[in-house]
Structure 1
Amino acid sequence: MSSTPEIDLLIEQTRRTPFTDRIANAYIRDNRRIRFPEYDGTKDPRAYLKAFRLTITRAHLTDEEREAAHCRFFAENLTGSALEWFSSLEGNSIDSFEQLITAFLKQYSVFLETEASEADLWEITQTKGQSLRTYIEKFKAARAKFHVVNHKVAIKALEKGLRHRSMFYKELALNPPRDLR
């Protein structure tokens, strides 16, 4: 015991874990050579979860290690406010990876990015004074967010968003492209 109650409380808080004993005390082989992604609580949690699931496949875990390793490696790579959130979970409340990611996704659902659609392309317009290059970059970035692209629809959306008096707009009207490549 230290002489300061605040220090004792701090030590106790850092010792407490949301994991059950089954998860916290399970033996897991050393996997330090695998570099896991980190999550700081400010971005889409799906991206972290996807990257984490891809990375953990390289760990070659045994059946006995799998559940505990998923939980512990996931938590060990939380930083900033995400680590604070994890640390604030009730002690002994997480006994599976499913429970952990359910709580995680509930907490960070506000950062879930909505799925993009071709309709988003129709909302992009070249503003007055905006260079053609900047407009095209903005359009390409929006188009890259979805997997299947109907090129005819995308070309029409690109044309619609252009400033009507631009040379590029006139060129597209005279020589319509077949696709956006």
Structure 2
Amino acid sequence: MVKKTDSPFTTVVLECPVPSKFHLPQLKPFDGLKDPLDHLNIFKTTLGLQQPPDKILYCSFLTTLKGVAREWFTKLPTSSIDDFEQLSSSFLCHFVGGQHPKRPADHLLTIKQGEKETLRSYVKHFTRETLEVDEADDKVQLTAFKAELKSKEFVVSLAKNPLWTMAEMLLKTQKYMNAEDALVRIEEVEKPNKRERKGR
């Protein structure tokens, strides 16, 4: 149900039907003292693959604020927000003093997967560094991400089936991370058996 109220939104959701597969982002609450762009980017990245409607974004974003940030949210003028992009702009404008200078896009080319680093660790590292970069589009991110992959099998797969967005890359990478994790678990189970055979 959507109804006019004294909310900052031109229309506010009183009964917000949450999609069955929707997961609320588990973010460290923003208190107004840290970089607002970092917080907003992490929020958008976390919810990006779920692609929820604006009304879900409104409700979810409020749960990631505390202290002066939550107070700012509740004091927004009545009917001053039309969509989530406008809310994002208002949020950044108000808390811009806490922003850190961004790195150039070519910084992503310096991120390398270590010889023994797992794919999961590399993805976390790469994603974290992406948030520090100013205006890195999908093409730049994909190029930098693929350049330092250590798995030959994964690289060959990407060559055969090119991907065009970072969201697609992360979905495909998830499958390889799961497979990598499964192999590690198998090796951990086999290690004691190998030691037993050697001891006989």
- TM-score normalised by L of structure 2: 0.43
- TM-score normalised by L of structure 1: 0.47
Structure ranking higher on relative contact order (CA contacts 8 Å, 6+ apart): 1
